[in-house]
C-alpha cells in the first residue's frame, strides 16, 4: 500500500491563487474559455522549452455558486515572472475577453497579498 503514495519535501515552489466570481450559469463557459485561453496560452508560450508551471487546479465551492479558485504551482518564480510579462498578459486577457462576454470579478489574489510569498514546501499524494 505504501507504494501507492508519494511524499516530497524540501520544495520551494511558488504558488499563485486567484479567486473569481461569475454568474453561476456561466461557470462552465468560464472554465472552458479559461482552459483554452489562459491554461493552454501560458503552458504553450513561444520561447519556453517546457510548460512553466507544474500544475493548475480549479476549485469550485458549492456553498458559493459562481466562485472559482485557480491554483497554480509554478516551477520557479523567474518562470512565473516571464509569463507575467505585461505584453503576454494583455494579449491573453484580450483573447479571454473576446471569448467570454460575461462579467467576471477578481475577488482575491492571495499571492499578491503576500507579495509572491506563498510556496509549496511539501506534497503527499496518492499515485494510482
pTM: 0.93
What are the backbone dihedrals phi and psi of residue 117, each rounded to the nearest 5 degrees, phi first? -95, 5
Which residues neighbour 99 within 8 Å (Cβ) at sequence distance 6 or greater? 33, 36, 37
Q: Strand locations in the chain, DSSP E?
A: 5-21, 53-60, 67-74, 105-109, 119-126
**pLDDT at residue 1 in the model:** 67
- The C-alpha cell 471569448 sits at 99
CATH of domain 2-126: 3.30.70.100
Residue ranges in the chain whose pLDDT is less than 50: none
Could you report the per-residue pLDDT of 86-120, keeping only the tens digit for each? 999 999 999 999 999 999 999 999 999 999 999 99
Which residues neighbour 107 within 8 Å (Cβ) at sequence distance 6 or greater? 19, 20, 21, 67
Q: Please tell me the distance from the alpha carbon of residue 79 to that of residue 51, in angstroms, as a whole number.
A: 9
**pLDDT at residue 3 in the model:** 82
Q: Please tell me the distance from the alpha carbon of residue 62 to that of residue 44, in angstroms, as a whole number.
A: 31
Amino acid at each position: 500500500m505504501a507504494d501507492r503514495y508519494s511524499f516530497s519535501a524540501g520544495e520551494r515552489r511558488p504558488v499563485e491563487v486567484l479567486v473569481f466570481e461569475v454568474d453561476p450559469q456561466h461557470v462552465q463557459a468560464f472554465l472552458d474559455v479559461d482552459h483554452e485561453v489562459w491554461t493552454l496560452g501560458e503552458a504553450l508560450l513561444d520561447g519556453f522549452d517546457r510548460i512553466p508551471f507544474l500544475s493548475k487546479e480549479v476549485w469550485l465551492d458549492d456553498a458559493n455558486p459562481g466562485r472559482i479558485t485557480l491554483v497554480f504551482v509554478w516551477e520557479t518564480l523567474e518562470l512565473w515572472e516571464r509569463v507575467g510579462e505585461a505584453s503576454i498578459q494583455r494579449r491573453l486577457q484580450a483573447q479571454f475577453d473576446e471569448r467570454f462576454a460575461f462579467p467576471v470579478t477578481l475577488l482575491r489574489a492571495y499571492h499578491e497579498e503576500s507579495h509572491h510569498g506563498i510556496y509549496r514546501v511539501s506534497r503527499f499524494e496518492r499515485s494510482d
